[in-house]
Amino acid sequence: MNILFLLTNKTETMYLFDDDTVASGLAIMRERRFAAIPVIKKTGEYVGTVCEGDFLWSVMDSNMESAHSDSDCKIRDIIRNWWNNPITIDESVEEVVERLMHQNFVPVVDDRNFFMGIITRSSVMSYYTKKMELLEERTVCSEDTLDSLDAQAVGIINA
C-alpha cells in the first residue's frame, strides 16, 4: 500500500516556521492543544518537530532565559533536529505504524526534504477500521452466498 493514501497534506497541516519566535510557537501550541508540531523553513524544507519539552528546556536553560527576555529566541534555537525524523513516500506502512507507536504523527518529506504533510495515528486507525468493515461485509456476503448455495443443493437433492 502507498502511504500517500494516509497523508494529511501540508495545506491541511498546522506547522511552525523555524524563524518564528518561541513565544508565538508556544502560543499556537497552547491554543491548539498540541504536544508537538512540525517545523519547516520558509522555503518548505522540513527542519524538525518541536514539542512541549523543547519549550520547557528552553525556559530552564540559563542561556535561553536571556534570549526569552529579548523575545529574540527562535524556534530553530530550541528544536531537537534528531527527534521525529521524517519519512519519504517510499516508506513501508509497517514502518509508519512502528513509528506511530511512539509518537502522534510522522512527518513526510519528498526526496529533496521538502515537507509534504503528516501521517497521524488517527488516519492509520481510520484506514484499518474501514478495511476491517469491508472485510466483515465480504465475509457476510460470502456466508450468505454459501447459505444460498446450500439451500439450492438441498433443493436439488430433495427433488
Residue 24: which CATH number?
3.10.580.10
Does 33 reside within a domain?
yes
For the stretch 16-49, pLDDT in tens is 999 999 999 999 999 999 999 999 999 999 999 9
Domain that holds residue 83: 3-121
The secondary structure of 97-140 as a DSSP string is HHHHTTSSEEEEE-TT-BEEEEEEHHHHHHHHHHHHHHHHHHHH
106 pLDDT band, cuts 50/70/90, is: very high
Percent of the chain surpassing pLDDT 90? 54
Residue 119: per-residue pLDDT:
97
Does 126 reside within a domain?
no
Instruction: List the one residue out of 97, 84, 86 whose CA is nearest residue 6.
Output: 97
Please give the model's pTM, rounded to 2 decimal places. 0.77
Residue 70 has pLDDT above 50, yes or no: no
Q: In total, how many domains does the chain have? A: 1
